[in-house]
Amino acid sequence: MLTRAAFNGVLEINNGHDTGRLEGVQMSLDFRDEHGQSVNDRFFVQGPTLSGVTAVDGTGVLAPLSSGTVQYTFIPTRAAAALVPTIYTIGGTLRYIDPSSGQEVVVPLLGATITVYPDPNLHLDYFQQRDVYADDPFTEETEPSEPFVLGLLVSNTGHGAAKNFSITSAQPKIIENEKGLLIDFKIIGTQVNTAEITPSLTANLGDIAPGQTAVAEWLMTSTLQGKFIEYAASFTHADELGGLATSVIDTVEIHELIHAVRVDSPTDDGRTDFLVNDRPDADNLPDMLYMSDGSVAVVNIADSVAADHPAALGQLQVHVSANMTSGWNYFRAPDPGAGYRLARVERSDGKELRVGDNVWQTNRSFPSSMAGAVREQLIHLLDRDGTGSYTFTYVVDDDVPPGVLDILNVDPDPHAGPVTFIDVVFSEPIDLATFDYRDVTLTRNGGANLITNAATVSYLSDSTYRISELDAWTAADGVYELTVEGSGIQDYGGNPATGRASDRWAHGDAAPFIDSLSSISIQLAIPFDALEVTFSEPLDIATFGYQDVKLTFNGGANLADSRLSVAHVSGSTYRVSGLASVASGEGAYRFSIDSTGVQDFSGAAGLGVDGLTWVLDATVPTVANVEQLATNPRNIVVQSLDVTFTEPIDLDSLTRDDLTLSRNGGSNLIDSRVTIEHVAGAVYRIKGINWVVGQEGTYQLTVFSAGVQDLAGNLGAGSASTSWVMDTTAPLAPTNLRITPDTGTSSSDGLTTSKTMTLSGSLGELGLSVRLVDVTTGDDLGDATVVGSDFSRTFTLNAPGNHRIQIRVVDAAGNVDLAARLLEEGGYFDVFVDLAAPTIVQLDDVAPDTRTIPVSSTDVTLSESIDLTTFDWHDLLLTRNDGPNLMNAAVTVTPVSDATYRLSGLTGLTALDGSYKLTVNASQIDDPAGNAGVGSAQVSWLMNGGGTLQLSSLGGRVFEDYNGNGASDEGDEGLSSWSVFLDLNGNGLYDAGTDPTQTTNADGRFTFDDLAAGAYQVGALPNAGWTRSAPSIASGLYIASVATGQSLNNLDFGYYLPGEIRGTMFSDLNDNRLRDDGEPGIPNWEVYLDLNGNGLFDAAEPRAMTAASGEYAFTGLAPGMYSVAQSFQPGWVQTSPGLGSSSTEANSAGNTPSTGALSSQSLVI
């Protein structure tokens, strides 16, 4: 997310008309640069958002006496201000219909000036760490999860700043888990540039100025070890915001990260840099270094790495050498300090390398050639211009710091003489080389430190050490205090000790001092009233009062006052009471006694100040959160869940009794295998639930706080739950798989002529996702779009040929359909991309090519098998003596072998003497994928059979069919000068220049002579206005076959000119059955042709309505007799022609009968 530059434009329209609406409201925008040129293409317009007005596209309406607003958002494209701030004017035109005049009003809008600033141009480089170190499922040991990195380097190469750039992530969700691995991923922290790591999921990179960069890291953990083998990163810019034209993100790339490092040469900017493997290799060695400033450097691989000896106790410094070149070098080698932790690396020139960043240890590797890990201890080093000589310092692999537990008391106390030694106890053995006099303080009567280098420290036993040679400083009378400070002392793992311990004793005539205070818990739930203090000797009680006590609350003022009282208990022990009245509020308290104000019975003043602290906490702990699983539903058994309380609690108080875990609302599944451990702060982990949550169902884990105590002892309250669905049932394989375009002979054969296609299908349930993978090439084809139970995905294959497309159907739990996993039917779709057009490889020669017998057949071979339905005699041309095409439907094409086809049926066409040419044209021949063929081939031969073969002929007559009966009757005259043709290619049409023609003689006759035996289609070309009556077949063409020497002369074509029937309906006012002057026509009267003579109008019979003049007409009629009838209307009587219907003959001249009608009521109409 980042702040995007955009402009808001608002136009207010007021309609002051009392009653009229503004209609036809239309608004157009116009963007102009400083030179007045139109630059509309430099802005993306979002909107409009309308209020009051219905539209601004020319259909808008604004009610009377109202106002409306039109609001747009203008987003500049990159071209709007490529280099420098640029000024633009946004204007336009408003149109509407004036309600008063009804005329369109055009109002130019006054332009508003804006300044567009250059955009940032961001390049995002992601870095995904390849190797993930976590639990190895094949070992009994549970190895810890080590954080791994997802890094991001953002470079701004534009001329504008990226404002408020942030990236918000969600916890990783496993979207596909084919094998049901028990694995989960979690983001545990985020780091931006040099800031500290935070547990947030948001990386706020702030402003990124031109030419600057920003770095972010997400630290993640996995429950299982492994390696990432594929990486993908992409971004989508919303189309509603202008798409790529307005996007400030230019590129997104992802790299295989070997290790997050720190470039400290020549300078260190404190930000993370990334050592990557950009060029895949068998050993997964790094080759490039992406630096936080945006620069990139080549990384060379050093060789000849050698160590002078393996590390061992007492020999923890190892010299390592390597053969290095100039620039950045990396090596990976067996770790000479296996089993120890690397603490320091120093180069031979004194430079210290960063351990953990630029030098690091690993205890296993993940070769590309195998699925698992190899257990081997390795050392890795990255250095610039290295000397090739390094000193490695190892320490014991121990990250638990030692603690200073106790100083054994001086006994007796008071002591009669000097103290020679004092023993100090640690929580574990420490490195004696780090413990000397500088870690010890010895004072007398609260004075200066007396210890010098004359004091010695020696090992005594176990974790106990002796500080000796103290007698020189402890001989004088006084109060002595010896303190050991742990911060300078280390164990063999190099961990500094924590805590401090001290002991105080008296020698000779010493002032009274505090020997001990009551022991209390540092966390308390309720106030307490009294504390007891024991001095080194009895006091004069009169000198000990509340004035010697200091009690502070949260570091504030002294609260001690007269409400506190001091009483003698026994011996040298005294009780301070009344604390509950002063220290009752929640917070941090410190209680101390200043001994300088008290006296013993000899009047000697006390020495020193002693005290203790506690926290009063009355707030009950509650469960703040139980981990909500990012992957839910899931097919992965939940191994552990984290619960966060509002404050740290007593771990012993959180037990299995405080948990319930149910499946489908059933009984509690918590058993003895469940354990609880402290993670950090107030976070606790519930482990071992994986044993009981493997079955399908809905699980709910609830944590109850009532039995839980915080560190102060407060019992908790409330509860919190988390739930998840366990689903291990794989979805069904998809059905109805198909591609578009599928150009093959079947719509589902997977043959296509395009590398770009859309694969679609149907799913067996809702809520599924689909991912396509080309298993032939290994290419990931991306996620399909799923709408309901249908899916589709458009993709482009990288090459023609066979491709098996795996269709991975995944449900919300990550289950993959079994068919896809096993590549069984339904889990894949085979596609064959055929981009090659078929060509003619060979047309067999006719042998001999001078011959005496006809050619019966010949073979043609194409470059591939073809769709036989597209190859027939129409694709062939056979000529004799360069005459017309002789081919007809008698010629057949049949397959001989894979791509060879036989052209048969040529005998009858090649029997005459002459020079023959046979041509095969591939342009209309398709292969099974639908590719049209290219090219042609020709073969020729000479027929010389002596001319003994008889020729055939076809003929007939074109006549005028006067009665339209389709037969040539006596009196039907021939039609001369008509054209008749042979349809050689059988397309049902006359092809000029190709099809032979004959012209009819005076009697309408025609003849085609010199024809070879065979089948022919014969048609006539009608003159304008004529209608065919014979032949009656729809095509109008005869199909005639002639044998050798045969003559057929019965191919007759009948035609006629359509006739008309016209008439008039009139009002026969004088009933004389004639239309006299002044008798009007009758309009709107139905007249029909009674074709079946039943005296009734039937639906299929032609009809006409009389015009205003009473006239009617029937046109386009075939010759014949027709009965013309009328539909009578009430009150009218037909006067002419008699009663009933009128019969007339339709011919080319037409007839004009008239019908008279008389009102039975003698009305004049």
> Per-residue pLDDT tens for 816-874?
888 877 777 788 899 999 999 999 999 999 999 999 889 999 999 999 999 999 999 99
Confidence of residue 994 (pLDDT cuts 50, 70, 90): confident
Domains by residue range for the chain, with CATH? 7-116 (2.60.40), 120-301 (no CATH), 302-397 (no CATH), 419-504 (2.60.40.1220), 514-616 (2.60.40.1220), 623-726 (2.60.40.1220), 748-824 (2.60.40.10), 840-943 (2.60.40.1220), 952-1056 (2.60.40.10), 1059-1159 (2.60.40.10)
- For the chain, the C-alpha Rg in angstroms (whole number) is 53
Show the tokens assigned to 607: 């020495």
Give the Cα separation of 627 and 722 in Å (integer): 7
DSSP letter at 349? T
Are the CB atoms for 201 and 171 separated by under 8 Å? yes
The 10 Å CB-count burial string (b at 16+, else e) for 345-362 is bebeeebebebebbbbbb
SS3 letters across 651-705? HHHCCHHHEEEEECCCCCCCCCCCEEEEEECCEEEEECHHHHCCCCEEEEEEEEC
Residue 689 pLDDT grade (very low, low, confident, very high; cuts 50, 70, 90):
very high
pLDDT for the residue numbered 911: 85
Place of tokens 């094409």: 893
Is the distance from CB of 494 to CB of 341 less than 8 angstroms?
yes
Confidence (pLDDT) at 556: 95
How many angstroms separate the CA atoms of 1150 and 1148, rounded? 6
pLDDT digits (tens, 9 = 90+) for 133-165: 877 777 777 777 788 788 889 999 888 888 888
Report the alpha-carbon distance of residue 134 to residue 129 in Å, rounded. 13
Q: Is the peptide bond before 401 cis (omega within 30 degrees of 0)?
A: no
pLDDT value of position 178: 53
CA distance 534 to 449: 26
pLDDT of residue 233: 56
The pLDDT tens digits for 424-436 are 999 999 999 999 9
Whole-number Å distance between alpha carbons of 871 and 278: 53
Asked if 903 and 858 count as a contact pair (C-beta separation under 8 A), the reply is yes
pLDDT tens figures, 875-898: 999 999 988 899 888 899 999 999
When pLDDT is averaged across residues 1103-1129 and rounded to a whole number, the result is: 88
Would you place residue 1144 in the very low, low, confident or very high pLDDT band (cuts 50, 70, 90)? very low
Report the number of secondary-structure helices (H) and strands (E) in the chain: 1, 83
Q: Which of 647, 643, 650, 649 is nearest to 625 (CA)?
A: 643
* 232 confidence band (pLDDT: 50, 70, 90): low
Q: How far is CA 431 from CA 341, 439, 460, 888, 894, in A?
A: 15, 13, 13, 108, 96
How many CB atoms are closer than 10 A to CB 326?
9
> What is the per-residue pLDDT across 899-911, written as a single tens digit (0 to 9) for each?
999 999 998 889 8
Q: Which whole number is the average pLDDT over 1063-1083?
A: 89
Confidence of residue 410 (pLDDT cuts 50, 70, 90): confident
| Joined tokens for residue 111 | 């332009």
Q: Is the model's pLDDT at 244 over the cut of 50?
A: no
Q: Who wins on pLDDT, 1075 or 424?
A: 424
What's the pLDDT score for residue 1163? Answer: 20
Residue 343 — very low, low, confident or very high, per pLDDT cuts 50/70/90?
A: very high
Non-local CB neighbours of 753 within 8 Å, separated by 6+ positions = 741, 743, 833, 834, 835, 929, 930, 931
**Cβ(147)–Cβ(160) below 8 Å:** no
pLDDT on residue 467:
96
Which residues are CB-contacts of 570 (< 8 A; sequence separation ≥ 6)? none
Whole-number average pLDDT of the chain: 88
What pLDDT is attached to residue 144?
77
Per-residue confidence (pLDDT) for residue 4, from 0 to 100: 57
Please check whether residue 684 is in contact with residue 676, taking contact to mean a CB–CB distance below 8 angstroms: yes
Nearest to 793 by CA among 822, 769, 814: 769
Residue 177: its pLDDT value, please? 53
In which band, very low, low, confident or very high, does the pLDDT at 1155 lie, cut at 50, 70 and 90? Answer: very low
Q: How far apart are CA 304 and CA 113, in angstroms?
A: 69
505: number of Cβ within 10 Å: 23
531 close to 583: Cβ distance less than 8 angstroms? no
pLDDT score, position 230: 62
Which band of pLDDT confidence, cut at 50, 70 and 90, is reported for residue 78?
Answer: confident
User: Tens of pLDDT along 553-585?
Assistant: 999 999 999 999 999 999 999 999 999 999 999
Predicted local confidence at residue 1132, as pLDDT: 84
- Tell whether the model's pLDDT for residue 1063 goes beyond 50: yes
Percent of the chain at pLDDT > 90 equals: 60
**DSSP run (H or E) holding 1023:** none
Distance separating alpha carbons of residues 1016 and 1030, to the nearest angstrom: 18
Tokens of 648: 């740290």
Lowest mean pLDDT among 297-306, 857-866, 998-1007, 1112-1121: 1112-1121
Regarding pTM above 0.85, the answer is no
Pairing mode of beta strands 609-616, 523-524: parallel
Q: Do the Cβ atoms of 891 and 905 come closer than 8 Å?
A: yes
Averaged over 1042-1052, what is the pLDDT? 88
Percent above pLDDT 70 for the chain: 93
Best CA proximity match to 592, nearest among 616, 607, 609: 609
- Output the CA–CA distances (angstroms, integers) from residue 683 to 617, 643, 677, 1059, in the order listed: 19, 6, 9, 103
Q: Which pLDDT score is estimated for 1139? A: 47
What pLDDT does 1 receive? 47
Task: Encode pLDDT of 447-492 as tens digits.
Answer: 999 999 999 999 999 999 999 999 999 999 889 999 999 999 999 8
CA angle 992, 994, 995 (to 5 degrees): 80
Q: Is the peptide bond before 418 cis (omega within 30 degrees of 0)?
A: no
Beta-ladder partners of 334: 378
What span, in angstroms and rounded, lies between the C-alpha atoms of 60 and 38? Answer: 26
Q: Quick one: pLDDT at residue 324?
A: 95
Beta strands 850-851 and 936-943, pairing class = parallel
Identify the top-confidence range among 363-372, 531-540, 903-912, 978-987. Answer: 531-540
What's the CA gap between 998 and 1004, in Å, rounded? Answer: 11
Distance between CA 901 and CA 899 in Å, rounded?
7
Could you give the CA distance from residue 462 to residue 444 in angstroms, rounded to a whole number? Answer: 30
